[in-house]
Amino acid sequence: KNEVEQSPQNLTAQEGEFITINCSYSVGISALHWLQQHPGGGIVSLFMLSSGKKKHGRLIATINIQEKHSSLHITASHPRDSAVYICAASRPISSGSARQLTFGSGTQLTVLP
Amino acid sequence: DSGVTQTPKHLITATGQRVTLRCSPRSGDLSVYWYQQSLDQGLQFLIQYYNGEERAKGNILERFSAQQFPDLHSELNLSSLELGDSALYFCASSVGFSGRDEQFFGPGTRLTVL
């Protein structure tokens, strides 16, 4: 079992739909990152959160530490939102303070006009 | 534009060769991270440097090595290249090393080993 699981793997939506991408993790984390990867390959950091909820424009990210679960929501989706969305858990590597990101496999989102 | 630069953008080489990938972090960031993204393994953490010192090591092969220089730019050296090393290599930078800082990703270097 992967330490970070994402669902769904693929998601196709109509423009304007509300979209939810889920991320579950099985390890203790210090933070959860949501990343967006465009078709050209570039990666953009969307959110980093360790508790509660964050909002940026039409994007909302939530995390439930007790349930080890995070969600990324996109309201009023648009074709330009089409991309791969990746969650990554920042977790300790050893007993020290070093951390590493462990990535989910990504969700390919396609928003149709 | 994240402020992180990587060169070259594309690299095509042959098995057995050695290549060097270069990364310049955002101004003010002290941490540099290297990641590999391949079709079968997805994104994987390779190594982190903070202010010139190795800070954390992930799934980095012994054939690979990295360093961070006094001006904070970093290089990832890949040697004895194999077909399976073909991948996108990203670097990212952040202010601190704790894992609680946002990471800013460079555009990546696409390595093709023939």
* Mean pLDDT rounded to a whole number for chain A: 92
Structural contact between residues B105 and B37, judged by C-beta atoms closer than 8 angstroms: no
pLDDT of residue B35: 97
The span from the CA of B98 to the CA of B95, in Å, is 9
Q: What is the pLDDT of residues B59-72, one digit of tens each?
A: 899 999 999 999 99
Q: What is the pLDDT of residues B46-105, one digit of tens each?
A: 999 999 999 999 989 999 999 999 999 999 999 999 999 999 999 999 998 777 788 999
Beta partners for residue B12, in sequence order:
B112
Q: Do the chains contact at A106 and B90, CB–CB below 8 Å?
A: no
The span from the CA of B92 to the CA of B108, in Å, is 9
Q: Is the model more confident about B109 or about A93?
A: B109
**What percent of chain A is modeled with pLDDT above 70?**
96
Q: What is the pLDDT of residues A1-35, one digit of tens each?
A: 678 999 999 999 999 999 999 999 987 888 999 99
pLDDT of residue A98: 72
Q: What is the pLDDT of residues A34-88, one digit of tens each?
A: 999 998 889 999 999 999 999 999 999 999 999 999 999 999 999 999 999 999 9
Number of CB pairs, chain A paired with chain B, less than 8 A apart: 68
For the cut 90, the answer to whether the pLDDT of residue B2 exceeds it is no
- Which chain B residues touch A if contact means CB-CB below 8 Å? 2, 33, 35, 42-45, 48, 55-58, 88, 90, 92, 97-105, 107-108, 110
The band of A97, judged by pLDDT with boundaries at 50, 70 and 90, is low
State the burial class of residue B22 (Cβ atoms within 10 Å of its Cβ: 0-12, 13-18, 19+): middle
State the burial class of residue A56 (Cβ atoms within 10 Å of its Cβ: 0-12, 13-18, 19+): exposed
User: In the Cβ-directed half-sphere of A22, how many Cα atoms lie within 13 Å?
Assistant: 8
pLDDT of residue A104: 94
Compute CA distances A4 → A19, B3, B45, whole Å.
20, 28, 14
Closest Cα partner for A98 from B50, B89, B65?
Answer: B50
pLDDT of residue A96: 63
